[in-house]
């Protein structure tokens, strides 16, 4: 904690001082993560409605409770992640402006906010199904305790372990409509789980020196860039057969998903020709975000016709 205290007592940079209370709040809850996960929650909801022959408008209350509840639980988990990581965040460029680092948010208030969101989110999800609530809480525990508090600082496999919690949102959405959790729901979980390692490995390469300074044993820190790139391609290839578990969505979806998977590999091969690890990682990182958004939105779109 010595580094954190020294940093907190230092004069804030202009960029840090300019942040508003609203921007600090959005940074605490990691709004980007919340938004991307809510897309997959909604996809789980939508596909459950489609494949169980339920009526969208008849479940509008459940849909709203699920989105609000899961959003709050995800936000609360991210807030607690910020609270726990406030000793290492000052050592990383992308996290040193967080309000938990600059001192603009008191640790005790951050902890209360995190647990408060978890509690309120749980109450909303209890208005749906017990299954959805339990899945969400298991995901939160996995992210806050198993990943943030334990594996992130100890194991090179932390990214894979952390992928479990990131794969939970579509299960929450499906379980809110159908607690039985059809194979389609588990297929969404698998796609999300396998997508995360290549996504975060590219981020880790981009921020390798920051992770090294913070003492986080990310794969490129421990094994180097070449091994990390090989692992990235292996995980991407593992994605190829998974969309076929969702064959009920239709041939156009399977074609699009396959093209997206091929495109990811081609993006890596083309970026490798530049012989710049940072540019390779940046290209792969951007593609991974576009991949997830297009894939999950297309699942909804293709079931409309």
Q: Are 111 and 72 contacting, i.e. CB atoms less than 8 angstroms apart?
A: no
Confidence band (pLDDT; 50, 70, 90) for 18? low
DSSP-assigned letters across all residues of 204-256: HHHTHHHHHHHT---HHHHH-HHHHHHHHHHHHHHHTTGGGGGGGG-HHHHHH
Coil/strand/helix, residue 25: helix
> Hey, what domains does the chain have and what are their CATH numbers?
13-302 (1.10.600)
Tell me the mean pLDDT in the region 149-158: 95
Decide which of 102 and 254 is more confident.
Answer: 254
Contacts by residues 179-185 (CB-CB < 8 Å, ≥ 24 positions apart): 179/129, 179/130, 179/131, 179/132, 181/131, 182/48, 182/51, 182/52, 183/245, 184/47, 184/51, 184/245, 184/246, 184/248, 185/44, 185/47, 185/48
Neighbours of 19 (CB within 10 A): 18
CA–CA distance, 183 with 181 (Å, rounded to integer): 7
φ/ψ (deg, to 5) at 95: -120, -5
19 — pLDDT class (breaks 50, 70, 90): low
| Residue-level pLDDT at 6 | 32
Range from 19-23, 24-28, 44-48, 286-290 carrying the lowest mean pLDDT? 19-23
> What mean pLDDT value characterizes the chain?
92
Task: List all residues 6 or more positions away from 137 whose beta carbon is below 8 Å from its beta carbon.
Answer: 73, 118, 122
Question: Percentage of the chain surpassing pLDDT 70?
Answer: 94
User: Is 4 a residue whose pLDDT tops 50?
Assistant: no
| Alpha carbon 274 to chain centroid, angstroms | 29
Q: Quote the pLDDT of residue 266.
A: 97
Q: What is the pLDDT of residue 159?
A: 96
How far apart CA 24 and CA 27 sit, in angstroms, is 5
Per-residue DSSP letters for 126-142?
TTT-HHHHHHHHHHHHI
pLDDT at 91: 86
pLDDT tens digits, 28-81: 999 999 999 999 999 999 999 999 999 999 999 999 999 999 999 999 999 999
Q: Distance (Å, rounded) from C-alpha 161 to C-alpha 89?
A: 20
pLDDT of residue 3: 36
Query: Looking at residue 11, what is its pLDDT?
Result: 40
Tokens found for residue 295:
């894939």
pLDDT mean over 98-127: 95
267 pLDDT higher than 50: yes
With bands split at pLDDT 50, 70 and 90, how would you rate the model's confidence at 217?
Answer: very high
Distance CA 85, CA 27 (A): 13
């Amino acid at each position: 904690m010595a580094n954190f205290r020294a940093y907190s007592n230092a004069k804030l940079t202009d960029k840090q001082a300019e942040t508003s209370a609203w921007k600090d709040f959005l940074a605490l809850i990691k709004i980007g993560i919340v938004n991307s996960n809510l897309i997959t929650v909604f996809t789980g909801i939508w596909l459950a409605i489609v494949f169980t022959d339920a009526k969208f408008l008849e479940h509008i209350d459940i849909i709203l409770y699920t989105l609000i509840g899961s959003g709050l639980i995800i936000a609360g988990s991210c807030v607690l992640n910020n609270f726990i990581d406030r000793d290492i965040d000052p050592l990383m460029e992308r996290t040193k402006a967080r309000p938990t680092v600059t001192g603009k948010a008191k640790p005790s208030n951050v902890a209360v906010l995190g647990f408060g969101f978890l509690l309120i989110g749980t109450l909303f999800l209890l208005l749906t199904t017990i299954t959805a609530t339990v899945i969400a809480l298991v995901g939160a525990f996995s992210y806050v305790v198993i990943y943030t508090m334990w594996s992130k600082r100890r194991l090179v496999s932390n990214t894979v372990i952390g992928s479990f919690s990131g794969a939970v949102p579509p299960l929450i959405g499906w379980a809110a409509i159908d607690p039985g959790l059809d194979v389609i729901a588990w297929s969404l979980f698998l796609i999300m789980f396998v997508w995360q390692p290549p996504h975060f490995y590219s981020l880790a390469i981009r921020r390798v020196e920051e992770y090294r300074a913070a003492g986080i044993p990310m794969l490129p820190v421990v094994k180097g860039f070449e091994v990390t790139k090989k692992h990235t391609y292996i995980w991407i290839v593992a994605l190829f057969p998974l969309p076929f578990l969702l064959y009920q969505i239709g041939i156009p979806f399977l074609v699009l998903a396959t093209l997206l998977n091929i495109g990811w590999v081609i993006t890596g091969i083309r970026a490798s020709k530049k012989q710049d690890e940072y540019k390779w990682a940046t290209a792969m990182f951007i593609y991974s975000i576009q991949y997830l958004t297009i894939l999950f939105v297309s699942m909804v779109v293709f079931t409309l016709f």
